[in-house]
Amino acid sequence: MKQIFLLNTFITLSLAVFAVPLDTVRIPLFRQGFHDKIDNEQALTDKLDNKVDQYLQVSKNDEINLQVTDAFFRKVDDLQLWVETNENIASNNEKIRYLRQMENLIRIFRTSWRSKEIKPIEFPAVLQTFESIFKNLPAQKSILPAIEAASYEVAKLNAAVYFESKEYPDAQKIVYLKYSELHPDNILKTIRPFISEPFADSLVVVACKNNPVQLYSYAQSISTPEGRLIHRNTNSMVKVVAQLSQTPNALLYFPFLDDLLSGKNTVENIKKYVGDTESKYDSIGYFKLLVKTEIDYFKRMAPPLRDTPIAMFGPNSLREVLKGKSLEHFIKPINELHDVNNLSV
């Protein structure tokens, strides 16, 4: 049954390919070269599945392969035909501009496929978004609604095609917001070009909720654009991390970051043990606070909550600092006693 369905699909697509052949339209010689460039990009892309046969083997699913193949060859050819026959695209230069955009689409898709930035099965969606923009260009409609409606990969590729559009900067902002939603861990690494945008502050909040330890690291340097962006933020959680990054002996507060962010503890309360100077540091009191916090956190990590607190593990974490203090206050003194001959000491 599957074979019959696929055969019918293939026959339907084959008939569609020959319904209105591009070569039945008389193309002026001075534009033929631009059509040839599109055909050349199609041919180069056809090689990516290691077989030049005007059939794109992009998955193990024959139906998907046929859909991608149909979009890539027949539908692209149909768009070339649309450019040539559309009376609203009157001048030669306009038609050339449209054909160049099509060439850009195929080339960017090809290079993105090769670099694994996009899965080839996405091409029908890529073309659908492209076409919705492309066919509205004669009416000078905005490219942004189609970019907004697309997935990140599809939006990114199509925005790149229309790099000459006056709306390209706004399209790039839309693409970046989509990227940030997918990769919140990379927000602080990539936000610099968008620091002046209205959405920058809200993205910092997202970055803080996702990885406050990373935000703390960026907040330590107030001279960088990212540092200034963090310190101007008015969100309560971000403000706590920003304050902590500039606090003397900040690493001593770091194991309690989860409690600080939740409001369960405060910098002022912990400061009673940390002190302002080395002489005011209450090492035993600080150790007791570590133990109490470890017990509370352990309960959260156990069923049914299974919630891992922030800064529980890793460098300068609660577990690491507690281990260091245990060695300092118990293990080392006990070991030193073993080396003492006078038991009355």
User: Given 223, 246, 269, which residue is the final one in a domain?
Assistant: 246
pLDDT in tens, 78-103: 999 999 999 999 899 999 999 999 99
Residue 33 lies in a domain: no
Residue 236 lies in a domain: yes
46 and 107 together in one domain: yes
In angstroms, the CA 124 to CA 154 distance is 10
If phi > 0 it is left, if psi is from -120 to 50 it is alpha, else beta; for residue 164 that is: alpha
If phi > 0 it is left, if psi is from -120 to 50 it is alpha, else beta; for residue 249 that is: left
Residue 281 lies in a domain: yes
- Of the candidates 124, 117, 203, 190, the one whose C-alpha atom is nearest the C-alpha of residue 160 is 117
Domain that holds residue 161: 9-21+38-89+97-182
Task: Evaluate if residue 25 carries a pLDDT over 90.
Answer: no
The percent of residues above 90 in pLDDT, for the chain, comes to 74
247 or 108, which is more confident: 108
270 and 298 together in one domain: yes
- Of the candidates 169, 151, 120, the one whose C-alpha atom is nearest the C-alpha of residue 160 is 169
Residue 251 pLDDT level (bands cut at 50, 70, 90): confident
Considering its fold, how many domains does the chain have in total?
3
Burial pattern 201-238, b for ≥16 Cβ within 10 A else e, equals bebbbebbeebbbbbbebbeeeeeebbebbeebebebb
pLDDT in tens, 159-187: 999 999 999 999 999 999 999 999 999 99
Average pLDDT over residues 69-84: 97
201 and 299 together in one domain: no
158 and 223 together in one domain: no
220 and 290 together in one domain: no
pLDDT in tens, 254-272: 899 999 989 999 999 999 9
199 and 288 together in one domain: no
CA R_g for the chain: 31
